[in-house]
Each structure stands twice: as C-alpha cells, then as structure tokens.
Structure 1
Amino acid sequence: MKRLRFLGVALLVFAVLVSGCIGNGTTQTVTQQVKTTETVTETIAPTHYPLTVKDFADREVKIEKKPQRIVSLAPSVTETLYFLGALDSVVGVTKFDDYPPGVQGGREIIGGFSDPNIEVIASLQPDLIIGTSMHLKYLDQLEAIAPVIILDPKNMEEVYRAVQLLGDVLDEKGKAEGVVEFMKAEVEGVKFRVANATRPKVFFISWWNPIYTPGKNTFQGDLIELAGGENIFSDLNGWAQVSMEDVLARNPDVIILSAHSGITPEEVCKSELANTNAVKNGRIYVVSDDNAISRPGPRLVDALKELSYFIHPEAYGYSFQPVSCPVEG
C-alpha cells in the first residue's frame, strides 16, 4: 500500500515536471516568435517613392524613385535646386544659368531658356526634367524622355509652394521647409520695418521702349507691396505694356529701374517723366541684380530687401542722396 502511494506521488511529481517543461518550452517559443515579429516590424520602413505630385500646370506626375539625373530648363529652377542642396544631381542647365557662380562647370548646356535642345536633353538620360510654363509647348517631347515637373509661381506664396514641391519630389522636405522658413522670416522682417510707414506710389520699369511694368500676379508687383509701396499698376494683370500718358496720370513718388531696362536715371530726368513727383524729388533707383528680382526663387528675399531700402530708406536709418537731374541751360 505504501509502495502504491509512493508510486502515485512519484507519478504526480513527474507529471508536474513534464507539464512545467512543456509550458516553459511553449512560453519560450512564443517569446521567440514575438521577438521575431518585432524585428521584422523594425526593419520594414515606409518608402517615399513611388510618389505622385501635382505641379503648377495642374498635372499629376509620378516619380518612381529618387531623381539622380536632373535637367533644369530655367535658371530659377537651378537656383532653387541649389538651395535644396541638390546640385550634385543636376546634369543639364541652360546657357543663362549663372547662380551659384560656376554652376555651368561640369554640366551639359541644353540650350536657351525658351529654346531647349531636345536631342541634347535626351542624350543626358535624365530621370527628371524641371521646367516652367514656357516649356509646355515641348511637353510631349520632354515626357517621352523623363517625368516632367512644371513650375510657374507668380508671387511669394507660390514661390514657397514651388520650393516645397521640389522638396517633396527630391525627398528633401526638411531642407525645403528650412528654405521656406528662412524666406518667410526675411519677409516678415521687412514687413515689420515698414508696417507703420506711408505707402508711396511706385513705378517699376521692366523695359523702357515700349514701357513694360509688373502688375498684379507678378512676383515683382508682390515685392513692391511687401516692401511698403503701392504699385501704381496693380490693377493690371501680369507684365503689362503701358503708355506714358498712363504713367503721368498716376504720378509715381518712386521710380525703380530694372538694371537692363534700357534707360538710365539721367535719361529718365530728360524724359516726359520729369514732371512726376519721383523725378522732382530725385527718387529714381536702379536694382543691383536683375536676376535676383526676375527669377522666382529663394533670392527674391534679397530683392525684397533692396526694394524696401529704396521705398523706405528711413526704416533703415538711411538717407539716399537724391538723383540730381541736369538743369537745361
């Protein structure tokens, strides 16, 4: 009887031990499976590509992978790519690209801004082409080579959008946000300086004969307003041709000349503009860098600051020497 009792206890102990071993083994296996699952989860990271974006021509463009060979069809595009740190991926630029200095070195010249050489572009085997609305007429030919992004910003807000769009396309959102935040800070700095100043009437001469000037929906017109001026032709759309009679009727307080406008301050003094408040008070200025003010890219903030110096020198503690027009003898 004692033997049977002992044998029963022994069998019970043995069963418990076996049960424990099986339980422990199962637990270890589950733990290993959990660890394996966690490892797999950690190694699967979301990818940025393929990516579909909408460009300024309202086109949906699919980018399969991070662009490594980019052709830029406009100097403003090249400059924006530079600020995004993407110049190493640019293989082709126009003959007019000059910023940053030396940008043409080691890159193929694909022609002019309005007349790109399609064969040269194709020979570069790009995986992305970036142009402007000027290049829509070449779109079918370009799309046969690579995906095409069209940029066409008309004011500062749209310039921000263009920077962010390229940041998305290049998987450089952080850099794009940094560029935009810097630009916005510069703009806010100018707006703060001129916030309480009166707004003089400003006439910007893009070209003299015939007279062309920026109206609304132009980044130059936008800069005049941001710099604390009143663009006298803000009621016109785009870059508009205007008559001398229109200019005289609006009597600008400040005249700003594009560096390549085809007229000098001295010639303005001798023109029919001599009777305007701007000429009478010697408030005629010439921009120092036509490219900075005519290319819709990050350098527009430099142009904005210069325009604000011209329009509101008192906001910076400056006193520009008025232009002294020659007196007829």
Structure 2
Amino acid sequence: MIQLQDQLGIIHSFTTTPRRIVSLVPSQTELIYDLGLEEELVGITKFCVHPIHLKATKKIVGGTKQVNFDKIKELQPNIIIANKEENTKEIVEELSQICPVWVTNIITVEDNLQMISDFGKLFNKRTTAQKWIDKINFAYLDFQKCIKDKPIRKVAYFIWANPYMVAGKDTFINEMLQLNHFQNIYEAKGRYPEIELEKIRQEGDPEIVFLSSEPFPFKDNHAFEIGRCTHHAKTIFVDGEMFSWYGSRLLKAFDYFTKMHEKL
C-alpha cells in the first residue's frame, strides 16, 4: 500500500504504483515526460505542447478549464494530475469519481522541488526525480551568483489585454520576478488583478513592463498603448513559459533569465 499526501494536504492511497496517468497541466506533463514516464502517460490537454510529439501520440482530453470527462473515463486512469490554479475545484471533484486526483499547488521554488520529489515517490522514479532536483538547485545557485549585484527594478508583468490584467502576489510568476531582483508594482493588488492603464504611474510607475507570450498574444500595439502610460518604461516581450511553467522547465528558465539580464 502506497500512501502519499498531495500539496493540498489530501492523503491518497494506492495498492500499486499508478501506471495510467492523465495530466491536466502542461508544465506537469513535461515533467512527467522528463521523469521517464512517457509510456505511462495516456491523456493530456490540448495545451500540453512540450514535448510536441505527445499531441500526436496521446489522447487529448480537453483544456485545463474544460475537460471531456467521458474521454478521461475511457482511458481508465489510475491517477489524474491537476493543479489548484490551472484546474477548477468542480473539475477535480467530478474527476475524483473516476480515480484519485493528485493536486499540486506551486507558488515557490520550494513548492516546485517538493512536487518533483512527490512525483518521484508516487511513480517510483525517486532517482530520476532527485537528479532533476539536484540540477535545478545547482542552476539556481549559479543564477543567484549571476544576479547578486543587480539592482532592484520596478516592473509590471502583463498577462492579458481587454481588460488588462497583471500577475500579482502569491503567484509563481511573482516568485520568478523576485528571484530576478524585480519589484512587482502590483504585488499588493491580489493574484491576477485587472488594472487601469491610466493609473500605472501612480501605482508605481515601472521601469520595465513585461508582456508575456501566454496566455494572451501581445502585439506591438499593446506595447505602445501601455508604454505611453508610463514614464518611458522599457517594454519587453518575454517567454511566458519561462516565468509561469514549473516542473523541469525551471532548469531552462534560469538560463533564459541570465540571457535576459545581459540584454537589459
């Protein structure tokens, strides 16, 4: 009997190691693959794009907010991997009627490392999981050395337009901003607040504005509209996966951040 606790504090029991996995979170799908569990992965979402070939070899069961329960049930999974932010409580509760739903909750780097360790235990991949943890920790320490003398700069990180929305506190994005010595001017406004561009100067007047590549496809006209509301803030299009994807993606993120600072 295997008994393990997910990041919501729910204890799950398994008689054997789960061998039929449905993943409802793109970054966690990537992690499952990187842990050597491609064969065990039977269902993914339409947003699970890394590695790209999975979309052709695995059953697509919908998105992160809308899933096809019948398709998932047909796959006869032993476990469904979800996330507190990506998937709704209603979806998790309904899917729990099919099989155990393991829910992650990732806000900090430590949360991320805990998830990798949990997956190692859950899927009997402890050695592989520990290798990923060691690689991420090493890259993290190396990155900290690279930016230790970088000044703190005020920033705003946009995730949506019409209405304009930004990343705020208690988000993995905000954790990534802090690691990069960026002070989020919207940190006190909630998790993903809707904001008024005309008030951006009084909110903190950022030195840098980040326009994420996901979930909204920002264009030059958005950069111009936002930029004219600031005091000459530098507007930068960034890879949203590097700021918002956790799991094994974090290893690539540190290298991305280092190169980003070189350009800044």
TM over 0.5: yes
Contact residue 56 and residue 152 of structure 1 kept, 8 A: yes
More strand by share: 2
Count of residues paired in the alignment = 260
CA distance in 2, matches of 1:302, 1:82: 15
Task: Say which is worse superposed, 105-114 or 255-264, in terms of deviation.
Answer: 255-264
2:235 corresponds in structure 1 to 284
Choose which of 25, 42, 63 in structure 2 pairs with 1:91: 42
Q: Does 1:274 align with 2:225?
A: no
Contact residue 194 and residue 227 of structure 1 kept, 8 A: yes
2:21 corresponds in structure 1 to 70
1:113 corresponds in structure 2 to 64
Choose which of 247, 250, 253 in structure 2 pairs with 1:300: 250
Q: Alpha carbon RMSD of aligned pairs, Å?
A: 2.1
Choose which of 251, 254, 259 in structure 1 pairs with 2:208: 254
Q: Does 1:57 align with 2:8?
A: yes
Could you tell me which runs of 5 or more consecutive residues in structure 2 were left unpaired when the two chains were aligned: none
Q: CA deviation at 1:305?
A: 3.8
Choose which of 141, 157, 160 in structure 1 pairs with 2:113: 160
1:175 maps to a residue whose letter is T
2:186 maps to a residue whose letter is F
**1:275/1:131 CA distance change after superposition, 3 Å:** closer
Contact residue 25 and residue 45 of structure 2 kept, 8 A: yes
Contact residue 32 and residue 38 of structure 2 kept, 8 A: yes
Computing the radius of gyration from Cα coordinates, the structure with the larger value is: 1
Contact residue 82 and residue 92 of structure 2 kept, 8 A: no
CA distance in 2, matches of 1:245, 1:307: 29
- Give the fraction of aligned pairs with identical amino acids, expressed as a percent: 24
Residues 115-136 of structure 1, C-alpha deviations (whole Å, 9 max, x = no match): 1111111111111111122243
Q: CA deviation at 1:272?
A: 5.6
Residues 66-94 of structure 1, C-alpha deviations (whole Å, 9 max, x = no match): 11111112212211101211111011111
More helix by share: 1
Q: CA deviation at 1:224?
A: 1.0
CA distance in 1, matches of 2:166, 2:250: 17
Choose which of 83, 86, 93 in structure 2 pairs with 1:132: 83
TM-score by length of 1: 0.73
Higher RCO, 1 vs 2 (CA within 8 Å, ≥6 residues apart) = 2
TM-score by length of 2: 0.89
1:264 corresponds in structure 2 to 219
Residues 260-297 of structure 1, C-alpha deviations (whole Å, 9 max, x = no match): 4454345433x263263443xxx22111x333433232
